[in-house]
Structure 1
Amino acid sequence: MSACPFSVVESRWWSKGNHSVRALFEAVAAIHYNNPTCFYYDMFADRSSLSTVLKMRGQDAQTQVLYLATHGDAKNIGPNATNAISRTEVRNILSFANKASQIKGLYLGTCLTGNAAVAKFFLENTSTKLEWLAGYRDSVDWIDGSAIDMIFFSKLAELYVANKSKKKGKLSPRKMAHEAASALVKLVPGAHSTYGFNIYFHENKKLTSMFS
């Protein structure tokens, strides 16, 4: 089977003990690609390590969807307040890393960042080369959020696998992301109603989304 187009970039969640979404993606990769280790997994601790990791992922000839797993608020993401990374810094890091347009989508596995203002900030700046951005408008329970994320990426993996075998009628990265999000909210309506999950695109010089 081919390599998985997803890359997970995660920080520590807690100073004592820790959780990780890695096992969720190992399950998705094992089910859809028959290989639990066929996706890239990296950890970051601050803006410097995030920059190093994203630069590698933007040049690995594999990553098309980036899943950023960390804490977040309206202005910053990162493992803790000491190592908070502003959205401007994240956008600048991503723009530098994605010069070859390899990364098509950014999924923010963070609280309070999946809103129209953040999507506009990333998608209307063409230097990021992103086709879509997804995330949560509100604060998300870790277990609930992880389950929602796993469903989305499982549906997206199905589409990528099916798309690869097509000779005609291939779906664009944007279309596959939209279909995966549609399948998710059909199964879990609370993803949007409870946590404000949404997926955004930039089309015809304006921001669009699944939920206005």
Structure 2
Amino acid sequence: MKHIPPSGLAVVESRWWKHSNMSIAPLLDVSCNMFDAGPLSFHYEMANSAVAFQEAIPRIAAMGHIKYLYIAAHGNKEGIECYNGDLVSRAEISNIISNATFNRTALRGIHFGVCDFGSYENLAAIALDNRKLAWVSGYSRRADWLGSAALDMQLFYHLLGSHETEPHSRIEDAAKAVKTLAEGACREFGISICVRRGAQPANLMEEE
């Protein structure tokens, strides 16, 4: 019997350090289980190379029930730093997502739990290149692992817990919640949440 994660969330994580098994998966277990989602409430994969990311994202987007993708890895302003040393550039990431969402997909939002990569410019470019996405979020500054992971959990907790049905409304609920509960961390890590509004994406974290 095929298992369908009730949260609609998929995670692609790259190994963080050579001598550590640190992972965001146990933290997500807590966030998802707050909704009585039970075990296996989200889809999880590891991708430690550019090839692995290129293979995983289109396959996950094609699953049909995945609404949100959470990419967790080291990074810089240019792209995602894989565990094996590969760099997946913004252009490559955007192309991977564009190809993945070209056909029918339920994917509507992507969060980059990646240091430095989530500038407004990078996120807006990805949003403009991928019209099926309602929102894209991430961090524009170097972020403490535990602090940013905790903020990620708040974001997904309020996103999954929103009573709204439209993707834009759900992410707006989550953005308001994290701004209220973790204003300092949002400012320190430079989080942006870009939503499609007209010709140019808007950053929810800069709105009152």
State the TM-score, normalized to the length of structure 2.
Answer: 0.91
Q: Is the 8 A contact 2:82 2:88 kept in 1?
A: no
Cα distance in 1 for partners of 2:5, 2:111 equals 22
Task: Give the alignment's TM-score, normalised by structure 1.
Answer: 0.89
Q: 2:40 aligns with which of 24, 27, 37?
A: 37
Contact map agreement 1:4 1:33 (CA 8 A) in 2: no
Aligned-residue Cα RMSD (Å) equals 1.8
- Is contact 1:6-1:65 (8 Å) kept? yes
- DSSP-derived class of the 2:172 partner: helix
Q: Is residue 205 of structure 1 aligned with residue 199 of structure 2?
A: yes
Q: Any runs of at least 4 consecutive aligned residues in structure 1 with deviations exceeding 2 A, and if so which? A: 78-82
Q: Kindly provide the amino acid, as one letter, of the partner of residue 179 in structure 1.
A: D
The letter of the residue matching 2:32 is: A
Deviation at 1:80, TM superposition (A): 4.3
Long gaps (5+) in structure 2: none
- CA shift, 1:211, in A, is 3.4
1:195 correspondence with 2:198: no
- AA aligned to 2:79 is N
Preserved CA contact (<8 Å) 2:16 2:73: yes
8 Å contact from structure 2 (residues 14, 83) kept in 1: no
Residue 176 (structure 1) shift: 0.3
Residue 5 of structure 1 aligns with an amino acid whose one-letter code is: G
Name the residue aligned to 1:125. 129
Give the number of equivalent residue pairs: 202
Query: Is structure 2 residue 146 aligned with structure 1 residue 152?
Result: no
| Pairing partner for 2:137 from 134, 138, 155 | 134
Task: State the distance in 2 between where 1:33 and 1:78 align.
Answer: 34
| Distance in structure 1 (CA, Å) of the matches to 2:174 and 2:50 | 30
User: Are positions 1:102 and 2:96 aligned together?
Assistant: no
Does 1:113 pair with 2:107? no
